[in-house]
């Protein structure tokens, strides 16, 4: 079973070439984005008073979500939770929402995060094998 994943931070493509190679397309969701330095956090998902947070959408399968992506986002440690929402372009996506209070030193809210992205992801078909 395939789904769509919305990425707004460290899972985003590192550049236009990797976005094309990895099957990402630009989109946005409503919420509040904050910068914690090494990674961003998203809170207040779907709040109608919040701005659109810019990011990218890509097809993923259930094994990717429950495997490498959930591990990367530390769901088992309670750092994030995975939630379904609708994008500005009316696509139903999974997104990782911060599951703790916003730290006092967080910078934001922001429309887009410009911090360090992760290494390139494998293309969708190959990443189902667990590569990040």
Instruction: Indicate the range of 25-29, 100-104, 117-121, 128-132 predicted with least confidence.
Output: 128-132
Domains delineated in the chain: 2-114 (3.10.490.10)
68: burial class by Cβ within 10 Å (0-12, 13-18, 19+)?
buried
43-89 per-position pLDDT tens digit: 999 999 999 999 999 999 999 899 988 998 999 999 999 999 999 99
CA distance 54 to 68: 23
- Residue among 82, 85, 16, 15 at smallest CA distance from 53: 85
Q: What is the pTM of this model?
A: 0.87
CA geometry: angle 68, 30, 72, nearest 5 deg: 15
CA distance 127 to 132: 7
């Amino acid at each position: 079973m395939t789904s769509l994943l919305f990425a707004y931070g460290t899972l985003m493509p590192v550049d236009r070439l990797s976005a094309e190679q990895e099957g990402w397309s630009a989109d946005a969701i409503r919420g509040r984005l904050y910068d914690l330095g090494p990674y961003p956090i998203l809170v207040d998902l779907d709040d109608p008073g919040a701005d659109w947070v810019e990011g990218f959408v890509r097809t993923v399968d259930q094994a990717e979500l429950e495997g490498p992506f959930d591990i990367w986002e530390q769901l088992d440690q309670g750092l994030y939770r995975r939630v379904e929402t609708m994008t500005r372009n009316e696509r139903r996506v999974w997104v990782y929402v911060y599951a703790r209070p916003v730290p006092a030193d967080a910078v934001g809210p922001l429309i887009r995060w410009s911090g360090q992205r992760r290494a390139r992801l494998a293309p969708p078909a190959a990443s189902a094998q667990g590569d990040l």
